[in-house]
Amino acid sequence: MIDETIMDKIIPLPDEDEAMEDIREELEGEGFIITNFSKGGVFYTLVRIMVFVYRQILVLARDIVNNCFMK
């Protein structure tokens, strides 16, 4: 098993709110035409689902890497 501090360096888990803000800023910087990123909106919900799935894939990757090693 790998220590959590080492796992955070190998595969960091982003905060969901920070990831949402980064995506919003990047899309606005690229001139994306949808500008309604408020809660309850369809686009907000789709982006939130994408961020959640991405974070869960990272959790799975951390578990797989962590289970490959024994102390």
pLDDT band, residue 23 (cuts 50/70/90): very high
- pTM of the entire predicted model: 0.81
pLDDT score of 57 more than 80? yes
Q: How far apart are CA 66 and CA 53, in angstroms?
A: 20
Domain layout of the chain by residue ranges:
4-67
Tokens of 33: 């035409």
% helix, strand, coil for the chain, step of 5: 65, 0, 35
